[in-house]
Amino acid sequence: MKLTTAGESHGRALLGIIEGLPSNLKIDFSLINSDLALRQSGYGRGGRQKIESDKIEILSGVRNTFTLGSPLAFMIVNADYKNWEGCMSAQECDVTVRRLTKVRPGHADLSGLLKFDQTDARNILERASARETAVRVAAGSIAKQYLAALGVSVGGYVRSVCGAEDENNYAFEELAAGKTHTLFMLDKNTEERAMRLIDELKAKGDTAGGVAEVRVHGLKSGFGSCMTYAEKLDGRIAGALMGVQAVKGVEFGLGFKAAALPGSAVHDEIFMRDGRFIRKTNNAGGIEGGMSNGEDIVVRAAMKPIPTLMKGLDTVDFVTGEPCKAAGERSDVAAICAFEIIMESVVAFTVAQAVSERLGGDNMAQVIKRYAEL
The amino acid occupying position 370 is R
Q: Which helix (H) or strand (E) segment is 211 a member of? A: strand 210-217
CA separation for the pair 301, 283 (Å, rounded) = 16
pLDDT tens-digit readout, 180-236 = 999 999 999 999 999 999 999 999 999 999 999 999 999 999 999 999 999 999 999
- As to burial, measured by CB atoms within 10 angstroms (0-12 exposed, 13-18 middle, 19+ buried), residue 188 is exposed
pLDDT value for 96? 95
CA separation for the pair 82, 161 (Å, rounded) = 34
Which residues form the domain of 166? 2-372
Contacts of 343 (CB under 8 A, 6+ apart): 156, 212, 214, 241, 244, 301
For 148-209, give the secondary structure using H, E and C: HCCCCEEEEEEEEECCEECCCCCCHHHHHHHHHCCCCCCCHHHHHHHHHHHHHHHHCCCCCC
Angle at 57 between CA 42 and CA 41, to 5 degrees: 5
Contacts of 168 (CB under 8 A, 6+ apart): 186, 187
pLDDT more than 90, % of the chain: 93
Q: How far is CA 143 from CA 25, 128, 235, in A?
A: 10, 24, 19
CA separation for the pair 270, 287 (Å, rounded) = 14
Q: How far is CA 58 from CA 31, 65, 223, 369, in A?
A: 14, 10, 30, 28
Q: At what angle do helices 29-39 and 133-148 cross, to 10 degrees?
A: 140
The amino acid occupying position 238 is A
For 292-332, give the secondary structure using H, E and C: ECCCCEEEEEEECCCCCCCCCCEEEECCCCCEEECCCCCCC
Contacts of 275 (CB under 8 A, 6+ apart): none
Map residue 356 onto helix, strand or coil: helix
Q: How far is CA 278 from CA 215, 282, 298, in A?
A: 18, 10, 17
pLDDT tens-digit readout, 146-193 = 999 999 999 999 999 999 999 999 999 999 999 999 999 999 999 999
pLDDT value for 312? 87
- In the structure, what pLDDT confidence band is assigned to residue 49 with cuts at 50, 70 and 90? low
Counted domains in the chain: 1
pLDDT tens-digit readout, 308-353 = 888 889 999 999 999 999 987 767 899 999 999 999 999 999 999 9
Read off the DSSP letter of residue 119: S
CATH of the domain at 150: 3.60.150.10
Q: Does the pLDDT of residue 54 top 90, yes or no?
A: yes
pLDDT more than 70, % of the chain: 98
pTM comes to 0.96
Query: 324 φ, ψ to 5°?
Result: -165, 180
The distance from CA 328 to its chain's CA centroid, rounded to whole angstroms, is 24
